[in-house]
Structure 1
């Protein structure tokens, strides 16, 4: 479980954001000011930091955090949308999101930073005849050296399998993780997308070896 240090003084935004991120599987420690942030950041995988804080502002807090923990990504949140404010934040922060923001966007930005700074950042995952680099979001046929063009949803499905290697994943799990919506029984969206994905990545789509079908249960990718 990835740990987020979340610094936000607005109680309504803070509670709503913390609850949403925890529902997505993150462990969130919420501070309402920058006091004690450097000590807490030592155990965090990422810092999500508001600009407008009591006492030291978010820019000052973020600069201190980056000096003390340069390998911990920082995502700035701010109602300030001016270019100058963004440039000031991006001098030390790794991403800058303006308020109001959609929770799906914030979660996606966090995932990108975690991949970029994670232990497997830039590393290649070998999967049968495929070479996948999640950070670069590339899938290459190692026999030819050519990149396999995937749609955004096809790539998300494959990366979701790689986050859960050797696990049997149901259509419901895949749909809700990739589409972010409740699964409706009988929906064939996942099945159709996996069929087209197999046509691109399997040596023999009729006898898939990368994405296995576990009859009556779901799908699995072995590593």
Structure 2
């Protein structure tokens, strides 16, 4: 499965070049021209490449919001600013900082390092009580019986979204916008219904769930 890069860059020439280089190297790239919608998209990304100079919200502000939204997704900052102060400001929240101009080989190498550091590589299995979840293979196996648990696409996406945001309380609005990709409409019960059916497949006792916890009045959480 291709690694998913959320790329935020407003310069069309640089953006097209980086987009094409990463796609050529096997990444699936979603390119945004500003950071306005980034928080809604980061939950579906394996990593973020973020330019500092953006229209509206600057890259530092966007990056801090993304880290708050999805702390488990690594962020690489791109900038023409080379001063130590600028780098230190970026590295307060970002995982790496690359100055322009740069060679695409260096960018690709740094992305691979971030993916390894965060464990998002082929074959990684995440244990959730009796479950063995493989984000890359997109499989869920009962570790005690060895049988694969078959989930619907939406159920799988919800579970993987929890896995990408471990130990974090997620609201139904966040889950809906990350999984469905549309703005949440007040009163929509799609998330609640899908989580109920998901629990019936993965919990030992769906009436007393221990994998997907309900945080009353706020949302849901999966501990790792």
TM-score bin (small chain): 0.5 to 0.7
Runs of 4+ in 1 over 6 A off after TM superposition: 11-16
- Cα distance 1:139–1:42, how it changes in 2: closer, same or farther (>3 A)? closer
Q: Please give the per-residue CA displacement for 1:126-175, whole angstroms capped at 9, x wherever unaligned.
A: 10110111111110001110000011110110010011111111000000
Give the Cα separation in 1 of the matches to 2:109 and 2:202.
38
Structure 2 alignment gaps of length 5 or more: 20-29, 43-47, 52-77, 80-100
For residues 169-184 of structure 1, the aligned pairs below 5 Å read 169-184=170-185
- Cα distance 1:4–1:43, how it changes in 2: closer, same or farther (>3 A)? farther
Counterpart residue number, 1:89: none
Give the Cα separation in 1 of the matches to 2:14 and 2:107.
21
Point out the structure with max Rg over C-alpha. 1
Of 119-128 and 211-220, deviating more is 119-128
SS at match of 2:163: helix
Give the alignment partner of residue 33 of structure 2, picking from 11, 14, 19.
19
Counterpart residue number, 2:50: 28
Give the Cα separation in 1 of the matches to 2:205 and 2:135.
24
Answer yes or no: is 1:201 the counterpart of 2:215.
no
Structure 1 alignment gaps of length 5 or more: 46-70, 73-113
SS at match of 1:183: coil
Give the Cα separation in 2 of the matches to 1:123 and 1:197.
22
Q: Please give the per-residue CA displacement for 1:68-126, whole angstroms capped at 9, x wherever unaligned.
A: xxx58xxxxxxxxxxxxxxxxxxxxxxxxxxxxxxxxxxxxxxxxx69x9634211111
Size of the aligned set, in residue pairs, is: 153
Higher relative contact order (CA 8 A, sep 6+): 2
TM-score (norm 1): 0.57
TM-score (norm 2): 0.57
